[in-house]
Chain A
């Protein structure tokens, strides 16, 4: 029941807003649909925590400790982003940057995007997961090009083609996996693509085929995670689309793609009995961290700056999952949570800051704090949080990842530390001059939505001080699941 509501609400929302999305009340309806989705996610989470794993519709959907926490996170950020998008899109409409038709498209696709994310997370069928991931790209392509500027069209095209090609590789990987599974499970019915069935027989799957499949799956889903060197689409898509879309791309899409990679890794590692998949993840992760840290220095656009920071953090998460083991997995899951929360709150603050300054170029944004202390402080605190300064949750997860790396992969620790240092210097310097100093900003016609910013940062702060016991249990259960024990 909760599960049905979880998937049906955003789909219904997409239909309703597709018809009436240009009206005045569409912004509120968007929030309403997201709120119902979030409530169903809460109910579902409660049920899974209380009664254990849940399997729906002839095992086509499956909810366990690992994906239920991502479902809750996704629905939560979906809700807060819709709260932020309410004043943001009103201001854009007042400035004449979007028309009624474009708003209709925006609202409808926003809900459709949420639905595809939730399907990708909850499905048990590896093929359906692929379909949902591709649908997620398609639903956001036209949102990246919403403003119809030359740069946004280029960004949309890059996003479409690179992710399309990438995801085709993942389809080939899925075919190979089905090929190996069919030998063991038989082709009658569809059980050979169900993750739970595959997980049960993973030791018998043919290692050479699964090894090959993993290469394709990692490259395919890795493109969507934004792992270097397949990250080219990410900064453009984040910078050129409307800011609420940057927030959900960074906070949700990257997480869901990472989830797909990890699900595949569990199967392949079980079949290969070696750490090869882990080593590949570590390699891609480390490359992303280093590359992103150095590219951060060359950015002039504030949204591109934080997009590169997302690549860096996805690299850290990939590295942690690659190391494996209960502690690293725990830290990676925690990092996924705090990164999503922090990065989306930064995008909320950045969104209002760019509207105030009338530009995304960092040199044109000055002295936010004089005109609007809340936006200024929100951006400053978000930046400090994402850079891993102590009281925030990002510090806790990065600390765990680094200490585990020291034990398990000592060679990688100095590289990680260096990259983190470089990123700190690059981002902090830029943000400081945007927040303090003389102002060029102007007032906005609608009051900005700052509750989501501080709600997210408050949660991140709390996770830095203390993780509630039920949440910690939950992370541990998920970490065990991924550890393949």
Chain B
């Protein structure tokens, strides 16, 4: 086995931290803290992208790092914090499955993710191919966060964390998607969040809360 260079070691560490943050999000019930974790995840992603850009000399990775910084570290957390303050939602209620149970499911999800990523890692020629499993795990844990939460705001944070995982996956497998696609995806995420902002106020106006347990009128049998 060849000794790993320091930059690769740092990249692997960043990947591990990303996964750790996903677990932290899975267990966090304070919504403000959840948004901070999301911003931190974005920041790690940004550093990883910069390091990879420097290592591979791939200029378009610098652009995506800047995009990550602007959108996921600064703008979206700011927007979400603002929404939280204006709407006054600070705590999520007890998740559908208790925290310990969710964490255990999370561990199983990670094992599954590594199994799923095995054939892809085996074929990848990038230096970061070992991180593909972690990217898949981040996506699936974000998915788990979404299905176990009741508050609309936590579901949105889960959704954005899933987007982080997808971005990290694209980076580790292929050093990022073509620029035009990355810009388009960023634009979609941005618009989605703006739409959500409007949407939250509509929900609040109607129900006086952002708790999705109010949403139980539209059942299959109606």
Instruction: Using CB atoms and an 8 Å cutoff, list the residues of chain A in contact with chain B.
Output: 60, 125, 127-128, 130-131, 134-135, 138, 141-142, 145, 148-151, 153-158, 160-161, 164-165, 168, 171-172, 174-176, 178-179, 182-183, 187, 190, 192-193, 206, 208-209, 212, 236, 240, 295, 298-301, 304
Q: Are A138 and B206 in contact (CB under 8 A)?
A: no
Residue B104, interface by CB 8 Å = no
Cross-chain pairs A/B with CB under 8 angstroms, 16 sampled:
A127-B180, A128-B181, A148-B206, A150-B207, A154-B215, A161-B146, A161-B159, A165-B146, A174-B181, A175-B177, A187-B174, A190-B178, A193-B178, A209-B120, A298-B220, A300-B222
Give Cα A151–Cα B218 distance, bound, in whole angstroms. Answer: 7
Give Cα A208–Cα B118 distance, bound, in whole angstroms. Answer: 11
Which 10 pairs of residues, A with B, have the shortest CB-CB distance? A127-B181, A131-B184, A190-B178, A154-B215, A134-B188, A175-B170, A179-B173, A298-B221, A208-B119, A236-B218
What is the predominant secondary structure among interface residues of chain A facing chain B? helix
A150 / chain B contacts, CB cutoff of 8 Å = 206-207, 214, 217
Give Cα A186–Cα B205 distance, bound, in whole angstroms. Answer: 52
Q: How far is the CB of A143 from chain B (nearest CB, A)?
A: 11
Among B124, B162, B185, B196, contact of A131 (Cβ-Cβ < 8 Å): B185
Among B162, B163, B195, B212, contact of A142 (Cβ-Cβ < 8 Å): B195
Q: Are A157 and B152 in contact (CB under 8 A)?
A: yes
Besides A148-B205, A193-B181, A206-B123, 5 other CB < 8 A contacts? A135-B188, A156-B199, A175-B166, A175-B174, A175-B177
Q: Are A151 and B217 in contact (CB under 8 A)?
A: yes
Q: How far is the CB of B57 from chain A (nearest CB, A)?
A: 13
A154 / chain B contacts, CB cutoff of 8 Å = 214-215, 217-218
Give Cα A171–Cα B166 distance, bound, in whole angstroms. Answer: 8
Q: Are A176 and B120 in contact (CB under 8 A)?
A: yes
Q: Are B173 and A175 in contact (CB under 8 A)?
A: yes
Q: Are A127 and B120 in contact (CB under 8 A)?
A: no
Q: Are B198 and A142 in contact (CB under 8 A)?
A: yes
Chain B residue with the shortest CB-CB distance to A145: B202
Give Cα A183–Cα B120 distance, bound, in whole angstroms. Answer: 12
**How many chain B residues touch A (Cβ–Cβ < 8 Å)?**
48
**Chain B positions 162 through 175: 1 when the CB is less than 8 Å from some CB of chain A, otherwise 0:** 11001001100111
What is the predominant secondary structure among interface residues of chain B facing chain A? helix
Q: Are A127 and B119 in contact (CB under 8 A)?
A: no
Q: Are A157 and B162 in contact (CB under 8 A)?
A: no
Q: Are A125 and B188 in contact (CB under 8 A)?
A: no
Q: Are A125 and B120 in contact (CB under 8 A)?
A: no
A127-B184, A141-B199, A209-B119 as given contacts; A165 in contact with B162, CB under 8 Å = yes
Among B123, B169, B188, contact of A183 (Cβ-Cβ < 8 Å): B123
Give Cα A180–Cα B187 distance, bound, in whole angstroms. Answer: 25
Chain A residue with the shortest CB-CB distance to B152: A157
Q: How far is the CB of B58 from chain A (nearest CB, A)?
A: 9
Q: Are B202 and A153 in contact (CB under 8 A)?
A: yes
Q: Are B181 and A148 in contact (CB under 8 A)?
A: no
A208 / chain B contacts, CB cutoff of 8 Å = 119, 123
Q: How far is the CB of A74 from chain B (nearest CB, A)?
A: 20
Among B143, B188, B205, contact of A138 (Cβ-Cβ < 8 Å): B188
Q: How far is the CB of B219 from chain A (nearest CB, A)?
A: 10
Give Cα A300–Cα B5 distance, bound, in whole angstroms. Answer: 66
Chain A residue with the shortest CB-CB distance to B178: A190
Q: How far is the CB of B153 from chain A (nearest CB, A)?
A: 12
Task: Give the most central of A149, A171, A174, A183: most B CB within 10 Å.
Answer: A171
A190 / chain B contacts, CB cutoff of 8 Å = 178-181
B212 / chain A contacts, CB cutoff of 8 Å = 157
Q: How far is the CB of B214 from chain A (nearest CB, A)?
A: 7
B166 / chain A contacts, CB cutoff of 8 Å = 168, 171-172, 175
Give Cα A174–Cα B207 distance, bound, in whole angstroms. Answer: 38
Which chain B residues numbered 111 to 151 have a C-beta less than 8 Å away from chain A?
116, 119-120, 123-125, 139, 143, 146
A127-B178, A127-B181, A154-B215 as given contacts; A138 in contact with B192, CB under 8 Å = yes
Q: How far is the CB of B208 from chain A (nearest CB, A)?
A: 11
Give Cα A148–Cα B204 distance, bound, in whole angstroms. Answer: 11
Chain A residue with the shortest CB-CB distance to B196: A160
Residue B203, interface by CB 8 Å = yes
Task: Give the most central of B166, B191, B218: most A CB within 10 Å.
Answer: B218
Residue B68, interface by CB 8 Å = no
Residue B22, interface by CB 8 Å = no
Give Cα A174–Cα B155 distance, bound, in whole angstroms. Answer: 24
Chain B residue with the shortest CB-CB distance to A232: B220
B177 / chain A contacts, CB cutoff of 8 Å = 127, 174-175, 178, 193
Give Cα A160–Cα B221 distance, bound, in whole angstroms. Answer: 21
Give Cα A430–Cα B57 distance, bound, in whole angstroms. Answer: 66
Among A135, A145, A179, A304, contact of B199 (Cβ-Cβ < 8 Å): A145
A164-B159, A299-B222 as given contacts; A157 in contact with B215, CB under 8 Å = yes
Give Cα A135–Cα B155 distance, bound, in whole angstroms. Answer: 20
